[in-house]
Structure 1
Amino acid sequence: MASRSRTPNLALAGLMREGEIKNAQLARAVNRVGAELGVILHYDKTSVSHWLKGSVPKPQARPAVAEALSRLLGRPVTSAEAGLGESGEPLESPDAAAGVADLSRADVDPSRRAVLGAGLYSAGLVVPAFEDVAGRGESAAAAPTVRIGRGDVATVRKMTERIADILDDLGGGHARPMAAAFLANTVGPYLRAGGTEAARKAMRSAASDLVYLTGWMAMYEREHGLGQKYYVNALKLAGQADDHVTYCRTLRGMALQASHLGYGNTALSLADSAAEAAPASGPRLVAFLRGQQAHGAAMVKDRRQAFARLRETEEALSRADGRNDHLGGYDRAAYEFHVAHVLWELGDRGASVKALRRSNLHRPEGERQGRLHATGLLATRLMEMRHVEEACREWDRFLDDYAGISSARGDEHFATLRNGLRPYRRLPAVRALSGRARSVAHLKAAWSPSGGSRS
């Protein structure tokens, strides 16, 4: 069959000129994004040349091309804008209630959960400003036969607290399915119910807290695209409720997610946006936001700003009263954790490790999930510094918590533990720890419904 002549992709060429993007650079970025999506891609500069001449990547690769361009340009780019046709991705619902209902129903459906969890994190996402979403809940039609009141709002608040307790004690693997089911079966109908404007606004505020928490758990379970979708819906609900605090707290959660994924500029931008959008607020929330700004500044190597933000964080925390909200709270352990991140990013590894130790000393006994992550990070950094015996002692403490927690982040640290020990397997401390790690792995495999670890 004779080959058909193709029309050059001028749209893609224009985007590449805009960002001064080379063919090989785009190919590498597309392959990296594809790996995040679970799609193995092997594009090179020749592949990009073919696209520029008019060939089109396979359908499952097109979202990766659009996201790669978004990251390289620092702004959202759609498949259609890149001249690649529509990606087949459903358009996001502008109605936060509908968005929460769709997400949570998919999250509790085993047949859809794997696809949902593989969704792509977008570094170029446009975050809705508070003024753009404030007071926009009226578009959702209320169900005339169902009315909500203060008792229903209290139910959502109490369930959110209980789920947060389970997260701290047993991990996100147990807590998030409960949150998704409650969102789908109870909160979704509440958001469509009738009631006074005060009751409906209070319900949107309560729902935004739970949606934020569910996004946080998805992030910690390494389902970053899903977590980002929950976060965006939490922003919309908070705006509809005129709830500045949850809106800013959610932006801060999005900044933390960006920092986990290594997007320093995005992390700093989101942290700054959270701080700028914050209303007159208490010192604990100020500390919460400034600490994340410090981490973002350190990621972009702005040493002066990073340490200035840390000083503001400590000063605000010193003025905070004794009450620390369970959901999205900030305390001395969180502050020292931020100090550790700033110091590590700026190259002071020894001081960073000391801050991580202080963080765990200040951490409440019941916060096993937080301690699990902090201890795993501490042990990993000690191994990177080749302080092997110290690392083994911290890994041993890590296993104390890991044995009873279902957490993808914990699984990730456990894999790091096992891989990191191999070069030192002749050391007695390493042999002893390896034996205990094997026992924990067998125990967790026996408990797992699938008979194996999620890592």
Structure 2
Amino acid sequence: MTERISELDDQFGGRHARPMAAAFLVNTVTPYLRADATEAVRKAMMSAASDLCYLTGYMAVDEGIHGLAQQYYLKALALAGASEDHLTYCTTLRGMSVQAVDLGHGRAAMRLADAAAAASPKAGPRMRAFLAGQQAHASAQIGEKTKALMYLREAETAMDKAESQQKAFGSYDPAALNYHTSQVRYELGDVTGAIEAMKQSDRLRYDVYRRARVRHRAMLAERQIAVGHLEAACATWHSALDDYPLVQSGRADQRMQSMLRLIKPHLKNHAARDLNDRARMVMPASLPA
């Protein structure tokens, strides 16, 4: 069930899928956790429940309900600890770091990213890339350039090793690594490098990750307009708008609101004007401009 909900989240966003996950937790998972069972079965159930709690927290982040997300994350940590599920434990700590860095809380993000790495001492190369990429982003946000670049190299090396062993659809992949590369470069002031890495991430991303495609294309456009490439930014925003109506995501909504704000000074330009007109038709009327 967690896998199915995760697929819905990737395609349609957290606002679409989280109510289903929350209802399943309350109505089905909680009674199972109270049932009599052998110790092995109880641990397996707590492990499965921790994974679903983590995913539900992640979807709450996508909605922009950050306090609720933290409650789910803390419950995921408690269940993962009780079931000795080290994978979900460190994945949840990393998720908390992602939430913190996206909110601009770099020091907290760094502590959580380091804790996630420490909780997974026997991580394989793909997991190591997954953790090091987040450490790189958090380091860059707090201005620790040397550490950021070190962690980024570590993530790249681990990803090369992971890809040589096997392709792993549905986990940390080269598209995600390029996203982290873009974030690190942007935090360190290399906007042009950030743009190139985000373009590469977009080229490598699997089609099923629709929500990420909308958000990251919008971020790419924001960086293109920041360096004066107005028409390129408008084209990128149009590509984000192609998928946006299918996604129920607070983070995607925020990116669209940012788009309207950023193009407002350029409405005498035909590309910006066309984009603005299309966005007004596509975006929900309830979303404040």
TM over 0.5: yes
Whether 1:440 aligns to 2:274 is no
Aligned positions of 1:133-212 closer than 5 A: 159-212=1-54
Deviations 1:271-321 (A, max 9, x none): 011111113121111110010010111111111111111111011111113
Give yes or no for contact 1:408–1:454 (8 Å, CA) kept in 2: no
Residue 322 of structure 1 corresponds to: 166
Residue 250 of structure 1 corresponds to: 92
Going from structure 1 to structure 2, the CA distance change for 1:232 and 1:454 (only over 3 Å counts) comes to farther
Residue 307 of structure 1 corresponds to: 149
What is the percent sequence identity of the aligned residues? 48
TM-score by length of 2: 0.96
Whether 1:234 aligns to 2:76 is yes
Residue 287 of structure 2 corresponds to: 453
Deviations 1:318-361 (A, max 9, x none): 111324263xx200011001001110111111000110110111
Residue 401 of structure 1 corresponds to: 243
Deviations 1:369-397 (A, max 9, x none): 11111111111122222321111011100
Amino acid at match of 2:22: A
Find 1:261's aligned residue among 86, 90, 103: 103
Deviations 1:3-61 (A, max 9, x none): xxxxxxxxxxxxxxxxxxxxxxxxxxxxxxxxxxxxxxxxxxxxxxxxxxxxxxxxxxx
For residues 363 and 197 of structure 1, what CA distance do their matches in structure 2 show? 41
Deviations 1:223-250 (A, max 9, x none): 1111111111100100011010100000
Deviations 1:246-277 (A, max 9, x none): 00000000111110111111111110111111
Give yes or no for contact 2:126–2:172 (8 Å, CA) kept in 1: yes
Going from structure 1 to structure 2, the CA distance change for 1:325 and 1:195 (only over 3 Å counts) comes to farther
How far did residue 169 of structure 1 move? 1.0
For residues 454 and 170 of structure 1, what CA distance do their matches in structure 2 show? 21
TM-score by length of 1: 0.62
Amino acid at match of 1:169: Q
Give yes or no for contact 1:244–1:279 (8 Å, CA) kept in 2: no
For residues 136 and 129 of structure 2, what CA distance do their matches in structure 1 show? 10
Deviations 1:72-110 (A, max 9, x none): xxxxxxxxxxxxxxxxxxxxxxxxxxxxxxxxxxxxxxx
Amino acid at match of 2:78: K
How far did residue 414 of structure 1 move? 1.0
Residue 282 of structure 1 corresponds to: 124
SS in structure 1 opposite 2:186? helix
For residues 193 and 324 of structure 1, what CA distance do their matches in structure 2 show? 35
Ranges of 4+ aligned residues in structure 1 off by more than 4 Å:
none
Residue 224 of structure 1 corresponds to: 66
Aligned residue-pair number: 287
Amino acid at match of 1:333: A
How far did residue 453 of structure 1 move? 3.1
Amino acid at match of 2:198: L
For residues 17 and 71 of structure 2, what CA distance do their matches in structure 1 show? 18
Amino acid at match of 2:101: S
SS in structure 2 opposite 1:403? helix
Aligned positions of 1:322-341 closer than 5 A: 322-324=166-168, 326=170, 329-341=171-183
For residues 322 and 435 of structure 1, what CA distance do their matches in structure 2 show? 45
For residues 169 and 269 of structure 2, what CA distance do their matches in structure 1 show? 44
Residue 145 of structure 1 corresponds to: none
Residue 221 of structure 2 corresponds to: 379
For residues 205 and 310 of structure 1, what CA distance do their matches in structure 2 show? 30
CA-atom RMSD in angstroms? 1.3
Find 1:369's aligned residue among 211, 217, 223: 211
Give yes or no for contact 1:205–1:243 (8 Å, CA) kept in 2: yes
Give yes or no for contact 2:15–2:62 (8 Å, CA) kept in 1: no
Aligned positions of 1:42-191 closer than 5 A: 159-191=1-33
Q: Based on CA coordinates, which of the two structures has the bigger radius of gyration?
A: 1
For residues 194 and 377 of structure 1, what CA distance do their matches in structure 2 show? 49
Give yes or no for contact 2:106–2:138 (8 Å, CA) kept in 1: yes
Residue 6 of structure 1 corresponds to: none
Give yes or no for contact 1:228–1:254 (8 Å, CA) kept in 2: yes
Amino acid at match of 2:168: N
Amino acid at match of 2:145: R
Give yes or no for contact 2:13–2:62 (8 Å, CA) kept in 1: no
For residues 388 and 299 of structure 1, what CA distance do their matches in structure 2 show? 26
Structure 2 residue runs without a partner (length 5+): none
More helix by share: 2
Give yes or no for contact 1:411–1:454 (8 Å, CA) kept in 2: no
For residues 264 and 435 of structure 1, what CA distance do their matches in structure 2 show? 37
